[in-house]
Structure 1
């Protein structure tokens, strides 16, 4: 095998330079000659031997050098096998209809009470969510649904299942009054029209 190592080091000396001093570049003070100015000389060649091996520390199963970073997430629901689906559906329907919760909020309350439906039902009135909370996504979905279905609020509700019919109607009348100023779709259409007019 010594013959192979000699050939390998001979190859490294003739090919790419690994940046270390060798007899060929020691004569010019360790610098590369000007006639060998290719980018390949800056690439590091293969490094073999004990000097180039990584020192890996022993694994310590009980210790954590890097504590888990807080991801900012919080578990709000985890299914529990002993709750029947029918009971869960009843609970969610009651939370939505009577107290204005959406599905995520209702399940979060149930999870907070360790899957105890009775305690959760008793606590629902204490944390009634703000009833007219419409996100930007909700508003855009409403506008899209309205453009497809008109005033058919039952069909609009299929696209916004977390909103009650009364909430949709209430939002429709407030949106209708200020539509020219607040319609997200109309605003986007005006922007596109202005851009196309400027390009012409």
Structure 2
């Protein structure tokens, strides 16, 4: 996957890419693990579409499977680009046949780490199905008792049918914000972080103060006098802080550095940069950080950088290797005396191969009897590349000289 295009000092264009591996690029042990994982997914799924596939379709489906590499990028010359394909996370709600019907479409469900040669299931999951949809119970009749276990249910924190008017509630919220501003003026650490009255009032007007005020009203049955007395107890006014105030400047800098490196992978951010913070705290801080001027400035800088970067590059038409074997109009042809064999468009990096060898070692399986391939698994003599006959006498001569 191309992340970005960069122009080098020499004038060449390089593509920063994320790699995907194919099954043929990993060891047989890992292929067995991948097959086991695929079988488990098939057993868990409610549909049995794959059981109705033909052997050819199953073989083609395996070649459509890719392995996502752990987040790491490589820089490659743009001239290596050959075409465009689509790679998506395996969709549990979509039929596997849809991947075969679309050209140049691949899927992945496993993450491959080439450094330690391991396969892991992707964290992504589509939350669709009975495991994630709530069962809505029938409405209780008047006088009918609720037999559900109350400890497992949510806690009610607000009553829309309260005796207070909207104006009275708004006035109480103003009092709560004023108490929060006064509490910050008395707190030494808050005075350092918010040296001005304007900053203290802005901090006291955030959601954490309003949520606490609403909760206090509900817990005291919407009695204004009781709720106000709780906001200002004998020990001093109540100070409510959110994650934006709790974090220090150094922790905020670490978070921005981690976000630049890992993106929104909060587990890695916590593990490598902020292990003393809880995952809930980091996520809450992230959404508050997105409302700050700091985030807006960084977003503008990134947008300016994106404008200056290359957005497209001209890729000349790919010229096939002259050694590639092909026949016009799909008619039978011959090579090295192999009469009656047809040829397909093949990857030039794989060298010469007739359909017999291509079907056995590269492409879809074909009956061995029809193709005349020896049971031992060796290549037929008439399918050996012609370059072999040039180098083989030279190898024999060198062996003779060393004897």
Shorter-chain TM-score: which interval?
0.3 to 0.5
> More helix by proportion, 1 or 2?
1
> More strand by proportion, 1 or 2?
2
Tell me the TM-score normalised to structure 2 length: 0.20
